[in-house]
Amino acid sequence: MKKVIIVILSLYLLVGCSDSNVHQNKKLEESIHTVVENKSKSEINITSLAKFTWDKAFIFPPYTTQESIDEQLDVHFKDPSNIDKRDDIYLLVFLNKGKVVQYAEIKRQKSDFSIGEKKFLTPSSASIKIVRK
């Protein structure tokens, strides 16, 4: 009986430590897509679109490796988009208090995206420039 309890607790801990509570924010992706479609817009204000609690956001360009993502986030986040093999999206990852809380896949739509020299976005500085091709 003790072994069964130990196994169940071990499985519970493993599941509790996974990225399973991090979800893809499809509504945010749609909102960003709408902004990018509007050719008169030159930037995306993430603060006005991200309707959840976050304190940092990182944007990763196509072909970013898992190692680079983990290094920049300073926490492990298993990239579900496989961006290291893709050139059709940018990956936007949101953290709150050092934990990944949500992510979004930004379709390129014949554009690139930039946050300039900043390492990450914050709610008070959350503009992504749209660089149209």
Domain boundaries, the chain: 22-132
Query: In the chain, which residue ranges form alpha helices assigned H by DSSP?
Result: 2-16, 26-37, 46-49, 66-73
Query: Which pLDDT does position 12 carry in this prediction?
Result: 41
Query: Which pLDDT does position 133 carry in this prediction?
Result: 87
pLDDT tens digits, one per residue of 81-109: 999 999 999 999 999 999 999 999 999 99
Number of H helices, E strands in the chain: 4, 7
Identify the three-state secondary structure at position 120.
coil
103-116 exposure pattern, b = at least 16 Cβ within 10 A, e = fewer? bbbbebeeeebebe
pTM above 0.95, yes or no: no
pLDDT tens digits, one per residue of 15-25: 444 445 789 99
What is the pLDDT averaged over residues 34-43? 95
Query: Which pLDDT does position 4 carry in this prediction?
Result: 43
